[in-house]
């Protein structure tokens, strides 16, 4: 493994747009700056794409589409596999880059390299498994063929919280299916995508298959791309309000969309749970990525008979956290992404306290450089508190209680979101009932982290449409065609 310094690494990261196989500045020369949330300092200045650059990127994706769709699936898969292999060689660089631009502790950044990389390996294998059907129709008068075809040029929009995995989770299935793409990473963390696309270039991806635009004017640049009839698919990961706007824009062209949106995960602990496992699961489900995950446990719904003990034990663990810049040894909690994230977490905590919650630890921002918030535990959170309704996206663990299973189900489902639910119980029958009764796209039964490239990731209700990963993931980028042949 190579060991680069931060300065060397940042020099190696491209600072331009990648359009039709070339690194180019924004047409009007505009730039934007990227900051380290742990220090507030500018770490890199990169191209700031405008509408003309978005149009050029889509032109390139459209021009490359037919050639890429005609490229043998095995060849497409081998490019993804080489990307997987090269990512393993560069894991130190990718992990460090994510820690610098996004803030997550280095150990977690390595975890994201592993998770994000798996999409490359998984879809390198799936590329050759796209199949169809052939059969006699029920009347016996003809033969039915069902075939799968690449959807066409795709626009991929990703958030800042998992800079590598959110990119690979979309790029890998799109390329495996034979689609070309324009990707627009979040302006807060664009460097990882630029660095990853440089890697794709190195493993021999043909020009125009993947194009990257980084921009500070996402809405203005995205609008014309989404409105262009040559675009065939929009895949978005981000907040529900932005997803709703993009669905509205997509309606005009009846554009196919995948939407991976917000969450408000319930974490239900029954009185028969193994408390050691529940506490370990709670810490992972809440504090991974400093709470900035769509899958983060948002509402801890704990049986009233064990709520005090659960609260005492999680508070003990939280007291052991070390807050700091994610590059420093032993740090377990990094900064939040920006001041707005601090303000949001703090407003939710103050609202809960105002409605009678008890503060067990933390509860305020940490003064100084960078945007840090104390890891916080609240108990006795009252119904109606904003923290039960909104995504916290910060290191705040909020506990409320329930009396019986029906009440637990009612509280857990009392949200417009439906991404993931966590349930801790040792009663197998109860666990089975909860799988059926929770309105979510995913469920962790006695586990606090469940994402896996081999599994379909996605939600119901306002958490989104479609699935990423698993056998399902590639179908987001394929369209099904039915052909009837006359009886021979
Ligand atoms: P966001 O919605 O603010 O931004 C997401 C992306 O959309 C960014 O690239 C941003 O630049 C872009 N964007 C914003 N407004 C736009 C517009 N009008 N037109 C086009 N693009 C626009 O979300 P965020 O703050 O970056 O990410 C956090 C959110 O993402 C949380 O709600 C989280 O739950 C969600 N998320 C969901 C998943 C999932 O798989 N379900 C995964 C990670 C994050």
Backbone dihedral angles phi then psi of residue 433, each to the nearest 5 degrees:
-60, -40
The overall average pLDDT reported for the chain is: 97
Distance, CA of 321 to CA of 210 (rounded, Å): 40
Select from 101, 97, 36 the least CA-distant residue to 369: 36
Are residues 383 and 421 located together in one domain of the fold? yes
Atom 30 in ligand 1: residue holding the nearest Cα: 238
Domain CATH code at residue 13? 3.40.605.10
pLDDT score recorded for residue 369: 87
Distance 237 CA to ligand 1 centre (A): 5
DSSP 477-488: GEEEEEEEEE--
Distance, CA of 104 to CA of 162 (rounded, Å): 9
Are residues 141 and 212 located together in one domain of the fold? yes
Are residues 40 and 97 located together in one domain of the fold? yes
CB count in 10 Å sphere of residue 292: 24
pLDDT bin (cut points 50, 70, 90) of residue 342 is: very high
- Our CA angle for 161, 167, 173, nearest 5°, is 140
Which H or E run includes 199?
helix 191-202
pLDDT score recorded for residue 488: 85
* Nearby residues of 264 by Cβ (< 8 Å), 6 or more positions away: 298, 299, 389, 390, 391, 415, 416, 417, 419
Judged against a pLDDT cut of 80, whether residue 1 lies above it is answered with no
For 125-207, strand residue ranges (E) read 133-136, 142-150, 154-157, 181-184
Atom 35 in ligand 1: residue holding the nearest Cα: 238
450 belongs to a structural domain: no
Judged against a pLDDT cut of 80, whether residue 2 lies above it is answered with no
Atom 32 in ligand 1: residue holding the nearest Cα: 239
334 belongs to a structural domain: yes
CB count in 10 Å sphere of residue 207: 16
Counting from 1 in the atom list of ligand 1, the atom nearest the Cα of 245 is 18
Task: State percent of the chain over pLDDT 70.
Answer: 100
Tens of pLDDT, residues 358-373:
999 999 999 998 999 9
pLDDT bin (cut points 50, 70, 90) of residue 272 is: very high
pLDDT score recorded for residue 3: 79
Distance 393 CA to ligand 1 centre (A): 12
Are residues 255 and 269 located together in one domain of the fold? no
Q: Is the pTM of this model over 0.95?
A: yes
DSSP 36-53: -TTT--EEEEEE---HHH
For 293-450, strand residue ranges (E) read 297-303, 358-361, 365-366, 372-373, 376-379, 396-402, 420-424, 442-445
Distance 164 CA to ligand 1 centre (A): 14
Task: Tell me the H-state helices in 103-164.
Answer: 106-126
Contact 305, 295 (CB under 8 A): no
Ligand 1 binding site (Cβ under 6 Å of any ligand atom): 157-162, 166, 184, 186-187, 218-219, 222, 237-239, 242, 245, 260-263, 294, 391, 419, 464
Distance 158 CA to ligand 1 centre (A): 6
Contact 386, 352 (CB under 8 A): yes
Q: What is the DSSP letter of 424?
A: E
* 130-158 average pLDDT score: 97
Are residues 109 and 244 located together in one domain of the fold? yes
16 belongs to a structural domain: yes
Judged against a pLDDT cut of 80, whether residue 429 lies above it is answered with yes
* 308-326 average pLDDT score: 97
Are residues 52 and 180 located together in one domain of the fold? yes
457 belongs to a structural domain: no
456 belongs to a structural domain: no
Are residues 186 and 134 located together in one domain of the fold? yes
pLDDT score recorded for residue 10: 98
- Our CA angle for 43, 47, 52, nearest 5°, is 160
Distance, CA of 42 to CA of 44 (rounded, Å): 6
C-alpha distances (whole Å) from 220 to each of 116, 142, 159 are: 29, 50, 17
* 293-308 average pLDDT score: 98
Are residues 403 and 473 located together in one domain of the fold? no
Tokens matching residue 426 = 């040792």
Catalytic hit among 118, 260, 391, 468: 260
pLDDT score recorded for residue 446: 98
Are residues 204 and 270 located together in one domain of the fold? no
Backbone dihedral angles phi then psi of residue 136, each to the nearest 5 degrees:
-80, 140
Residue 260 among the catalytic residues = yes
377 belongs to a structural domain: yes
Q: How many domains does the chain have?
A: 2
Q: What is the DSSP letter of 54?
A: H
Tens of pLDDT, residues 146-178:
999 999 999 999 999 999 999 999 999 999 999
Counting from 1 in the atom list of ligand 1, the atom nearest the Cα of 464 is 41
Distance, CA of 122 to CA of 58 (rounded, Å): 27
Distance 49 CA to ligand 1 centre (A): 18
Candidate from 242, 250, 262, 371 with most ligand 1 atoms within 8 A of CB, to mutate: 242
Are residues 167 and 305 located together in one domain of the fold? no
Task: State percent of the chain over pLDDT 90.
Answer: 99
92 belongs to a structural domain: yes
Q: Which domain holds residue 277?
A: 265-445
Candidate from 34, 167, 239 with most ligand 1 atoms within 8 A of CB, to mutate: 239
Are residues 148 and 50 located together in one domain of the fold? yes
* 325-337 average pLDDT score: 97
Residue 37: exposed, middle, or buried by beta-carbon count in 10 A (0-12, 13-18, 19+)?
buried
* 249-258 average pLDDT score: 98
409 belongs to a structural domain: yes
Helix, strand, or coil (residue 393):
coil
Judged against a pLDDT cut of 80, whether residue 426 lies above it is answered with yes
Backbone dihedral angles phi then psi of residue 232, each to the nearest 5 degrees:
-115, -5
* 28-56 average pLDDT score: 98
Are residues 235 and 313 located together in one domain of the fold? no
Domain CATH code at residue 286? 3.40.309.10
Helix, strand, or coil (residue 11):
helix
């Amino acid at each position: 493994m190579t060991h680069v310094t931060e300065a060397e690494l940042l020099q190696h990261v491209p600072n331009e747009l990648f359009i039709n196989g070339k690194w180019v500045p924004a047409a009007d020369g505009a730039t934007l700056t990227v900051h380290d949330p742990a220090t507030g300092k500018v770490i890199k200045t990169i191209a700031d794409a405008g509408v003309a650059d978005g149009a050029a990127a889509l032109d390139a994706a459209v021009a490359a589409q037919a050639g890429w769709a005609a490229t043998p699936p095995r060849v497409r898969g081998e490019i993804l596999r080489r990307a997987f292999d090269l990512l393993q060689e560069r894991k130190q660089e990718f992990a460090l880059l994510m820690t610098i631009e996004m803030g997550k502790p280095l150990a977690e950044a390595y975890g994201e390299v592993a998770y994000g990389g798996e999409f490359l390996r998984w879809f390198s294998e799936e590329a050759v498994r796209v199949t169809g059907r052939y059969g006699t129709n029920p009347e016996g008068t003809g033969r039915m063929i069902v075939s799968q075809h690449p959807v066409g040029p795709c626009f991929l929009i990703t958030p800042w919280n998992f800079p590598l995995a959110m990119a690979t989770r979309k790029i890998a299935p799109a390329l495996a299916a034979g689609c070309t793409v324009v990707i627009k990473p979040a302006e807060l963390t664009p460097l990882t995508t630029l660095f990853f696309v440089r890697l794709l270039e190195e493993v021999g991806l043909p020009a125009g298959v993947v194009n990257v635009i980084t921009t500070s004017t996402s809405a203005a640049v995205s609008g014309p791309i989404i409105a262009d009839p040559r675009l065939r698919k929009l895949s978005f990961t981000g907040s529900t309000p932005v997803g709703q706007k993009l669905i509205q824009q997509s309606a005009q062209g009846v554009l196919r969309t995948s939407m991976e949106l917000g969450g408000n995960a319930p974490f239900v602990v029954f009185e028969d749970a193994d408390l050691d496992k529940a506490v370990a699961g709670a810490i992972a489900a809440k504090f991974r990525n400093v709470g900035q995950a769509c899958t983060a446990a948002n509402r801890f719904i704990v049986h009233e008979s064990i709520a005090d003990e659960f609260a005492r034990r999680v508070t003990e663990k939280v007291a052991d956290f070390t807050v700091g810049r994610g590059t420093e040894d032993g740090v377990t909690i990094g900064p939040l992404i920006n001041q707005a994230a601090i303000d949001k977490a703090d407003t939710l905590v103050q609202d809960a306290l105002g409605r009678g919650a008890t503060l067990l630890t933390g509860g305020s921002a940490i003064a100084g450089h960078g945007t840090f918030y104390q890891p916080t535990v609240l108990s006795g959170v009252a119904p109606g508190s904003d923290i039960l309704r909104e995504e916290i996206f910060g290191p705040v663990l909020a506990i409320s209680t329930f009396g019986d299973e029906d009440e637990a189900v009612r509280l857990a489902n009392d949200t417009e979101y439906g991404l993931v639910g966590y349930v801790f119980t040792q009663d197998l029958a109860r666990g089975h009932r909860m799988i059926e009764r929770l309105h979510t796209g995913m469920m962790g039964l006695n586990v606090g982290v469940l994402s896996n490239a081999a599994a379909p990731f996605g939600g119901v209700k306002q958490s989104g449409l479609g699935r990423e990963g698993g056998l399902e993931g590639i179908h987001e980028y394929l369209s099904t065609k039915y052909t009837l042949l006359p009886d021979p």
